Amino acid sequence: MRYPKHLPFLFIAPMLIGLFVFRIGPIFASFYVSFTEWNILGAPRFVGLANYRDAIETESFWHVMGNTVQFTLLYVPSVMALGLALALLVHQGLKGSLVFRGLFFMPYITSMVAVALVWRWIFASQHGLLNAFLRAIGIDDPPLWLGDPDYALIALVVVSVWQAAGFQMLLFLAGLQNVDGAIQDAAKVDGATRWQVFRHVTLPLLSPVTFFVLIVSLIASSQTFEATYALTGGGPQRSSTTLAFYIYQNAFVFFRMGYASALAYVLLTLVASIAALNFFLRRRWVHYG
């Protein structure tokens, strides 16, 4: 039985329609909106590069950019280190490792609303679990955490790392399971210590996975929104407002859709530049085979 040539396209048509309507279409539309002044209710008014110029000249934009850079510098190495440590732990094949693998991954699939409720209680200044512990060990004046501009972003990093580390663990674990054990055994026979085997054999063989985790973590750090919205709302004093949350505020709180779209393309340019730089530098430290 011969099928019509157009039949395969008929099956993939719903996916293609969704792709163009909900993905590609909004990308081009937001690019046009970034050159306009639009409050959603009225008609867009073309203003050229004014939104991009306002972003560069606005002090609040650079403050938010500083928060984003600080968040990235704290989040990326922390989540990668914790993910690798968890992967090495469950890779040992100890009894109950499958259970712990599921427990470590569970925060990643848990709703951020539920996660935020738990962590807001942990970070609560008066009756929170963390400050209760600090007082118990002799610290009489613990930080306010979510209410302190000096600690709000750090608390946000802690929650984000805790939630995402399980996903990074699975990526590293997949890489560890593909490492040739014969090479590690040969290094041990030659007298290498466990640390030397890990440093000079396992890590180089794991570098392709490490590179992928690095790119994923960098992109995730630039898109943090749910944790900020649920935990701090960008405060206090915008100390935890990152660029993704700032875009949301301008678009759906202040209804500055043109300015928000311009900020979104600034974010896209930054992320693409950092990713391109990492792809350029990977030849220096990523080893395939």
Closest CA to 243 of 211, 259, 160, 158: 259
Tokens of residue 119, six digits: 């962590």
Residue 236, preceding peptide bond in cis (omega within 30° of 0): yes
Nearest-CA neighbor of 123 among 161, 148, 157, 155?
A: 155
- In whole angstroms, how far apart are CA 260 and each of 53, 59, 66, 248, 273? 13, 16, 18, 7, 20
Cα separation of 95 and 15, whole Å? 44
User: What kind and span of H or E run contains 20?
Assistant: none
**At what angle are helices 207-222 and 59-90 packed, to 10 degrees?**
140
pLDDT in tens, 139-187: 888 888 999 999 999 999 999 999 999 999 999 999 998 888 888 888 8
pTM of the entire structure? 0.90
Would you give per-residue pLDDT tens digits along the chain (289 residues)? 677 777 888 889 999 999 999 999 999 999 999 999 998 888 899 999 999 999 889 999 999 999 999 999 999 999 999 999 999 999 887 777 888 888 899 999 998 888 888 999 999 988 889 999 999 998 888 888 999 999 999 999 999 999 999 999 999 999 998 888 888 888 888 888 888 988 888 898 999 999 999 999 999 998 889 889 989 999 888 999 999 999 999 999 999 999 999 999 999 999 999 989 988 988 888 877 6
